[in-house]
Structure 1
Amino acid sequence: MIKVVARSVAIQGKEDEIIALSKELVLESRKEVGCIRYEMYQDQKNASVFTMIETWQDEETFQKHKETPHVKRIVPQLNALRVEKAVVDVYTLVI
Protein backbone atom coordinates (compact mmCIF):
# COMPACT_ATOMS: atom_id res chain seq x y z
CA MET A 1 0.00 0.00 0.00
CA ILE A 2 1.23 3.50 -0.87
CA LYS A 3 0.38 6.68 1.06
CA VAL A 4 0.97 10.05 -0.61
CA VAL A 5 1.00 13.30 1.38
CA ALA A 6 1.23 16.44 -0.76
CA ARG A 7 1.37 19.81 0.99
CA SER A 8 1.06 23.11 -0.84
CA VAL A 9 0.46 26.79 -0.17
CA ALA A 10 -1.95 28.80 -2.31
CA ILE A 11 -1.18 32.27 -3.51
CA GLN A 12 -3.20 34.51 -1.23
CA GLY A 13 -6.68 35.02 -2.68
CA LYS A 14 -6.48 31.88 -4.86
CA GLU A 15 -7.79 29.44 -2.25
CA ASP A 16 -11.26 29.09 -3.81
CA GLU A 17 -9.74 28.33 -7.21
CA ILE A 18 -7.49 25.68 -5.63
CA ILE A 19 -10.52 24.09 -3.96
CA ALA A 20 -12.57 24.05 -7.18
CA LEU A 21 -9.81 22.45 -9.25
CA SER A 22 -8.93 20.03 -6.48
CA LYS A 23 -12.53 18.90 -6.18
CA GLU A 24 -12.45 17.76 -9.80
CA LEU A 25 -9.06 16.09 -9.29
CA VAL A 26 -10.26 14.24 -6.19
CA LEU A 27 -13.52 13.06 -7.76
CA GLU A 28 -11.80 11.80 -10.92
CA SER A 29 -8.98 10.15 -8.99
CA ARG A 30 -11.40 8.27 -6.75
CA LYS A 31 -12.75 6.54 -9.87
CA GLU A 32 -9.35 5.05 -10.71
CA VAL A 33 -8.55 1.38 -10.22
CA GLY A 34 -6.29 1.06 -7.19
CA CYS A 35 -7.39 4.28 -5.49
CA ILE A 36 -8.30 3.43 -1.91
CA ARG A 37 -8.63 6.98 -0.57
CA TYR A 38 -8.11 10.48 -1.96
CA GLU A 39 -8.86 13.57 0.13
CA MET A 40 -7.85 17.20 0.45
CA TYR A 41 -7.60 19.08 3.73
CA GLN A 42 -7.28 22.79 4.50
CA ASP A 43 -5.20 23.91 7.46
CA GLN A 44 -7.30 25.30 10.31
CA LYS A 45 -4.75 27.97 11.21
CA ASN A 46 -3.75 29.07 7.70
CA ALA A 47 -6.45 28.81 4.99
CA SER A 48 -3.79 29.03 2.28
CA VAL A 49 -2.27 25.67 3.25
CA PHE A 50 -3.69 22.51 1.68
CA THR A 51 -2.75 18.87 2.03
CA MET A 52 -3.77 16.03 -0.27
CA ILE A 53 -3.71 12.60 1.33
CA GLU A 54 -3.94 9.67 -1.05
CA THR A 55 -3.88 5.93 -0.51
CA TRP A 56 -3.07 3.65 -3.45
CA GLN A 57 -3.21 -0.11 -3.71
CA ASP A 58 0.41 -0.31 -4.86
CA GLU A 59 3.21 1.52 -6.65
CA GLU A 60 1.90 0.50 -10.08
CA THR A 61 -1.54 2.06 -9.58
CA PHE A 62 0.05 5.21 -8.16
CA GLN A 63 2.32 5.55 -11.19
CA LYS A 64 -0.63 5.04 -13.55
CA HIS A 65 -2.52 7.76 -11.66
CA LYS A 66 0.23 10.28 -12.39
CA GLU A 67 -0.20 9.63 -16.13
CA THR A 68 -3.98 10.09 -16.27
CA PRO A 69 -5.44 12.91 -18.38
CA HIS A 70 -7.06 14.60 -15.38
CA VAL A 71 -3.76 14.72 -13.45
CA LYS A 72 -1.84 16.02 -16.45
CA ARG A 73 -4.47 18.72 -17.03
CA ILE A 74 -5.31 19.82 -13.49
CA VAL A 75 -1.94 19.66 -11.67
CA PRO A 76 -0.29 22.33 -13.88
CA GLN A 77 -3.29 24.58 -13.27
CA LEU A 78 -2.94 24.05 -9.52
CA ASN A 79 0.80 24.76 -9.69
CA ALA A 80 0.04 28.17 -11.22
CA LEU A 81 -2.06 29.00 -8.13
CA ARG A 82 0.57 27.95 -5.59
CA VAL A 83 3.35 29.95 -3.97
CA GLU A 84 5.70 27.12 -4.98
CA LYS A 85 5.44 23.53 -6.15
CA ALA A 86 3.81 21.13 -3.68
CA VAL A 87 5.99 19.11 -1.35
CA VAL A 88 5.11 15.47 -2.04
CA ASP A 89 6.10 12.63 0.26
CA VAL A 90 5.41 9.02 -0.71
CA TYR A 91 5.31 6.27 1.91
CA THR A 92 5.14 2.48 1.74
CA LEU A 93 3.17 0.64 4.42
CA VAL A 94 5.51 -1.44 6.58
CA ILE A 95 3.26 -2.54 9.48
Structure 2
Amino acid sequence: MKAAVQLINQRGSAVPARQRAAMPVYKGVLHIREARVPALGRIVATAELYSSTEPVPQPLIPMLLDADVLFLKDSQMRIRGFEYVDGIQYGQTWDIRVL
Protein backbone atom coordinates (compact mmCIF):
# COMPACT_ATOMS: atom_id res chain seq x y z
CA MET A 1 0.00 0.00 0.00
CA LYS A 2 1.17 3.54 -0.66
CA ALA A 3 1.92 5.44 2.51
CA ALA A 4 3.56 8.52 4.01
CA VAL A 5 5.79 7.74 7.00
CA GLN A 6 7.20 10.09 9.59
CA LEU A 7 9.74 8.83 12.12
CA ILE A 8 8.99 9.57 15.77
CA ASN A 9 12.42 8.70 17.20
CA GLN A 10 15.95 9.68 16.31
CA ARG A 11 18.65 7.24 17.42
CA GLY A 12 16.20 5.73 19.90
CA SER A 13 15.09 9.00 21.54
CA ALA A 14 11.66 10.53 21.01
CA VAL A 15 11.64 13.73 18.96
CA PRO A 16 9.26 16.41 20.33
CA ALA A 17 6.20 17.03 18.14
CA ARG A 18 7.30 20.58 17.26
CA GLN A 19 10.63 19.33 15.94
CA ARG A 20 8.98 16.41 14.10
CA ALA A 21 6.97 18.92 12.05
CA ALA A 22 10.25 19.99 10.40
CA MET A 23 11.45 16.42 9.79
CA PRO A 24 11.01 14.76 6.39
CA VAL A 25 7.99 12.65 5.52
CA TYR A 26 8.90 9.61 3.43
CA LYS A 27 6.43 8.51 0.75
CA GLY A 28 6.54 5.06 -0.76
CA VAL A 29 5.11 1.56 -0.68
CA LEU A 30 4.66 0.02 2.77
CA HIS A 31 5.21 -3.72 3.28
CA ILE A 32 4.48 -5.51 6.55
CA ARG A 33 5.46 -9.18 6.62
CA GLU A 34 7.32 -11.94 8.41
CA ALA A 35 10.92 -12.53 7.43
CA ARG A 36 13.81 -14.65 8.65
CA VAL A 37 16.54 -12.38 9.99
CA PRO A 38 19.79 -14.36 10.20
CA ALA A 39 21.39 -11.83 12.59
CA LEU A 40 18.59 -12.54 15.09
CA GLY A 41 18.34 -16.25 14.32
CA ARG A 42 14.55 -16.19 14.02
CA ILE A 43 11.55 -15.11 12.01
CA VAL A 44 10.27 -11.63 12.92
CA ALA A 45 7.52 -9.26 11.86
CA THR A 46 9.01 -6.51 9.70
CA ALA A 47 7.86 -3.20 8.25
CA GLU A 48 9.58 -1.71 5.22
CA LEU A 49 9.04 1.40 3.11
CA TYR A 50 10.21 1.24 -0.50
CA SER A 51 10.44 3.91 -3.18
CA SER A 52 7.63 3.79 -5.68
CA THR A 53 9.43 5.79 -8.37
CA GLU A 54 12.59 3.74 -8.92
CA PRO A 55 12.66 0.93 -11.53
CA VAL A 56 14.00 -1.34 -8.78
CA PRO A 57 12.37 -0.49 -5.43
CA GLN A 58 14.88 0.87 -2.91
CA PRO A 59 14.37 1.09 0.88
CA LEU A 60 13.73 4.69 1.94
CA ILE A 61 14.32 4.20 5.68
CA PRO A 62 15.77 1.39 7.80
CA MET A 63 13.55 -1.67 8.17
CA LEU A 64 11.62 -2.06 11.42
CA LEU A 65 12.16 -5.43 13.10
CA ASP A 66 9.75 -6.97 15.64
CA ALA A 67 7.21 -4.55 14.18
CA ASP A 68 3.97 -4.17 16.14
CA VAL A 69 0.95 -2.27 14.89
CA LEU A 70 -0.08 -0.05 17.81
CA PHE A 71 -3.22 1.31 16.19
CA LEU A 72 -5.01 1.44 12.86
CA LYS A 73 -7.94 3.77 12.33
CA ASP A 74 -9.26 5.08 9.04
CA SER A 75 -6.12 5.98 7.06
CA GLN A 76 -3.79 6.40 10.07
CA MET A 77 -1.61 3.84 11.78
CA ARG A 78 1.39 3.62 14.07
CA ILE A 79 4.01 0.86 14.07
CA ARG A 80 6.71 0.32 16.69
CA GLY A 81 9.82 -1.85 16.50
CA PHE A 82 13.57 -1.47 16.30
CA GLU A 83 15.98 -0.60 13.54
CA TYR A 84 19.68 -1.00 12.95
CA VAL A 85 21.59 2.19 12.12
CA ASP A 86 25.36 1.89 11.65
CA GLY A 87 25.24 -1.53 13.34
CA ILE A 88 23.48 -0.24 16.47
CA GLN A 89 19.95 -1.24 17.45
CA TYR A 90 17.53 1.62 18.22
CA GLY A 91 13.85 1.72 19.15
CA GLN A 92 11.76 3.37 16.45
CA THR A 93 8.10 4.25 15.86
CA TRP A 94 6.51 5.21 12.55
CA ASP A 95 3.49 7.48 12.17
CA ILE A 96 1.82 6.36 8.94
CA ARG A 97 -0.83 7.89 6.72
CA VAL A 98 -2.21 5.67 3.98
CA LEU A 99 -2.23 7.53 0.65
Q: TM-score, normalised by structure 2?
A: 0.24
Q: Which structure is higher in RCO with an 8 Å CA cutoff and minimum separation 6?
A: 1
Q: More helix per residue: 1 or 2?
A: 1
